């Protein structure tokens, strides 16, 4: 949730850097935004409701002209792009927030769980609140403690009282200092040693054009940046923490749209290459994870949203290929299963960002019990990665669209490799996936897009879309519904084909679109029979299948890829969802009410 960006350094136009950074973080939250610049004696603050969009630094200069004489030698600016959690979408609730005396300004991502208790205490001391947010509480609390100490110590004391998961950056009117802290929400420091610059952001692409050298804040750590450099400290023990500098291999263009109108379609098309990268795993590490699964007393695949549907698919893959049972639990529900977990339990966490709060909480549960953690991640330097015993990287590169596409198929590929490795058939799994990747390369072409576009035109006004699947493709029916819901805003539901007659078939009316996900396996005849049940009640049947069938009103061909059918069957739905979003004049990269990385519970 929420995008945070901060700049510390000698640049003439720090707000220009912050605004550019916020635009690159807008996928994390985009209902309002704001920036703050420290001048010689004050702050310049501007906040707006809505997306930062086409707003530019020149627009900001018109609002308040900034001259170099107003600014200190070292420039400090912060910014925030909001996904509302506490309080409605208003200018008052937008960040940055400031203290009563405007001495302290801050931006915050996450939730302060005990803010009401602290707020009541501050009101009794005479503090008033302009916003409905939990964030403003921290600003006033820091001011309160600055009556008895300096800015840095006041921040430390205030944060020691805060409960919850958060990332926060703070600046003070009278000190050339930038303080950042985190617990459960990501914050990354970018360092440009040559120019003495520091960047702080919720995600690396925000500052990647300036530096690829980063330092990661871990939970309960803070960083104090001033002219002498960056000092890292543990917030609980107040001990100094030494941080190594990591060089990121991502290329700037990977995080840009390039010739594409939206990130979502760019990332769908990148699956021509990302699947190959996902397959290119360390055989030794894959076998190590397979061995851990065999020796565990209960293996639990855990994910949220789309990653949760990948985990469900893994359950079918392990059953079919490895003849092995695994447990699948959504991250938010994992703690309710802790009563039968032991130190022999294994958790395999699937996540794009590696910062999903509910999945991190699941890891905390199993770590306390002494169990092991494996993570399948797209961000090898995330919190989840650092908490894991083994990390299997997706290698999909930056995924900026809120609706996950290339990371999803990469996750499915890694789960497939693990299932084959369980029965010492990793080579067979790799060959199948390589063949699948080459066939996806043939799929993703303009003619294929045009064919799906014609379908999009037919169903763009539909109020409901239903998706059915069986076996390996039942979880992909659920994932298809997520994709359509996220970006088209059409009501979509996925069902196991056999469950239709137990209730959902009552929803079918004349010309209701129903997508049937078909694989050339033991489920084929049954899912086609289910599709006929829908058609006989007036439904419009869209078949995603290697072969055409009489029941289909519209056929989208996919390659026959055996156990990789979930990978190839979800791609046409990704394209369909994207096209429906554009036709319905929605922004597919930034769907309403959603954010890319869900860092609150």
Active-site positions? Answer: 2, 596
Report d(CA 36, CA 47) in Å as an integer: 9
* Peptide bond between residue 458 and the one before it cis (omega within 30 degrees of 0): no
Report d(CA 452, CA 456) in Å as an integer: 6
Which residues fall within 8 angstroms of residue 39, CB to CB, at 6 or more apart? Answer: 70, 71, 72
* 425-433 own/partner pairs: CB under 8 Å, 24+ apart: 425/321, 426/283, 426/286, 426/287, 429/321, 430/279, 432/561, 432/562, 432/563, 432/564, 433/275, 433/279, 433/564
Q: Are 359 and 301 in contact (CB under 8 A)?
A: no
User: Which phi and psi angles does 572 have, rounded to 5°?
Assistant: -60, -35
Number of neighbours of residue 149 by Cβ within 10 angstroms: 12
Using DSSP bridges, classify how beta strands 554-557 and 540-545 pair: parallel, antiparallel or unpaired.
Answer: parallel
What HEC string does 5-50 produce?
EEEEECCCCHHHHHHHHHHHCHHHCCCEEEEEEECCCCEEEEEEEC
Q: Nearest to residue 387, comparing CAs of 362, 415, 410?
A: 362
Using DSSP bridges, classify how beta strands 390-393 and 372-377 pair: parallel, antiparallel or unpaired.
Answer: parallel
Query: Where do we find the tokens 């590490």?
Result: 285
Report d(CA 34, CA 89) in Å as an integer: 13
Which stretch of DSSP H or E encloses residue 327? strand 327-330
Q: Nearest to residue 553, comparing CAs of 587, 499, 598, 510?
A: 510
Q: Are 107 and 67 in contact (CB under 8 A)?
A: no
Structure tokens at 29: 């939250």
Which residues fall within 8 angstroms of residue 162, CB to CB, at 6 or more apart? Answer: 112, 114, 118, 138
Which stretch of DSSP H or E encloses residue 172? strand 164-172
> Counting runs of H as helices and runs of E as strands, what totals does the chain give?
17, 24
């Amino acid at each position: 949730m929420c995008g945070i960006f901060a700049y510390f350094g000698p640049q003439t136009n720090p707000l220009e850097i912050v605004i550019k950074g916020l635009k690159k973080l807008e996928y994390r939250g985009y209902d309002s935004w704001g920036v703050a610049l420290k001048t010689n004696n004050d702050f310049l603050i501007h906040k707006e409701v809505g997306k930062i969009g086409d707003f530019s630094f020149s627009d900001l200069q018109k609002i308040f002209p900034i001259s170099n004489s107003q600014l200190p030698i070292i420039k400090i600016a912060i910014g925030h792009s909001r996904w509302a959690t506490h309080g409605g979408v208003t200018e008052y609730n937008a960040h940055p927030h400031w203290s009563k005396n405007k001495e302290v300004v801050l931006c915050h991502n996450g939730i302060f769980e005990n803010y009401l208790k602290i707020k009541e205490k501050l009101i009794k001391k005479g503090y008033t609140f302009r916003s409905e947010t939990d964030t403003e509480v921290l600003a006033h609390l820091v001011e309160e403690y600055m009556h008895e100490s300096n800015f840095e110590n006041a921040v430390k004391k205030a944060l020691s009282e805060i409960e919850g998961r958060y990332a926060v950056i703070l600046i003070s009117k009278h000190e050339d200092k930038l303080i950042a802290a985190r617990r459960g929400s990501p914050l990354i420091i970018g360092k440009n040693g040559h120019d003495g610059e520091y960047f702080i952001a919720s995600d690396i692409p925000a500052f990647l054009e300036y530096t690829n050298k980063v330092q990661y804040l871990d939970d309960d750590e803070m960083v104090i940046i001033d002219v002498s450099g960056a000092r890292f400290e543990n917030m609980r023990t107040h001990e100094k923490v030494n941080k190594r500098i990591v060089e990121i291999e991502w290329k700037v263009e990977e995080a840009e749209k390039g010739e594409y109108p939206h990130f979502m379609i760019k990332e769908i098309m990148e699956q021509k290459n990302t699947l190959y990268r996902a397959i290119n795993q360390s055989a030794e590490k894959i076998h190590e994870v397979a061995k851990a699964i065999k020796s565990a007393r209960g293996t639990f695949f855990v994910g949220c949203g789309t990653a949760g549907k990948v985990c469900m698919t893994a359950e079918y893959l392990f059953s079919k290929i490895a003849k092995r049972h695994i447990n699948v639990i959504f991250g938010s529900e994992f703690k309710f299963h802790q009563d039968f977990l032991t130190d022999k339990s294994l958790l395999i966490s699937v996540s794009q960002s590696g910062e999903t709060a509910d999945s991190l909480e699941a890891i905390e549960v199993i770590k306390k019990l002494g169990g092991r953690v494996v993570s399948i991640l797209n961000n090898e330097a995330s919190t989840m990665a650092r908490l894991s015993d083994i990390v299997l990287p997706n290698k999909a590169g930056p995924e900026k669209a809120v609706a996950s596409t290339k990371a999803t198929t990469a996750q499915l590929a890694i789960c497939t490799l693990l299932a084959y490795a369980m029965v010492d058939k990793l080579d067979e799994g790799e060959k199948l996936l390589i063949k699948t990747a080459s066939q996806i390369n043939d799929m993703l072409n303009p003619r294929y897009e045009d064919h799906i576009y014609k379908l999009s035109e037919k169903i763009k006004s539909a109020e409901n879309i239903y998706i059915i699947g069986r076996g390996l493709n039942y979880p992909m029916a659920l994932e298809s519904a997520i994709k359509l819901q996220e970006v088209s805003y059409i009501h979509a539901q996925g069902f196991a084909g056999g469950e239709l007659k137990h209730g959902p078939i009552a929803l079918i009316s004349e010309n209701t679109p129903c997508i049937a996900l078909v694989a050339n396996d033991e489920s084929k005849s049954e899912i086609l029979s289910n599709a006929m049940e829908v058609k006989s009640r007036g439904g419009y049947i869209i078949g995603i299948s290697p072969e055409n069938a009489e029941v289909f009103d519209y056929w989208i061909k996919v390659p026959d890829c055996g156990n990789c059918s979930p990978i190839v069957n979800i791609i046409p739905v990704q394209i369909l969802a994207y096209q429906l979003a554009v036709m319905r004049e929605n922004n597919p990269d930034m769907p309403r009410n959603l954010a890319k990385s869900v860092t609150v519970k």
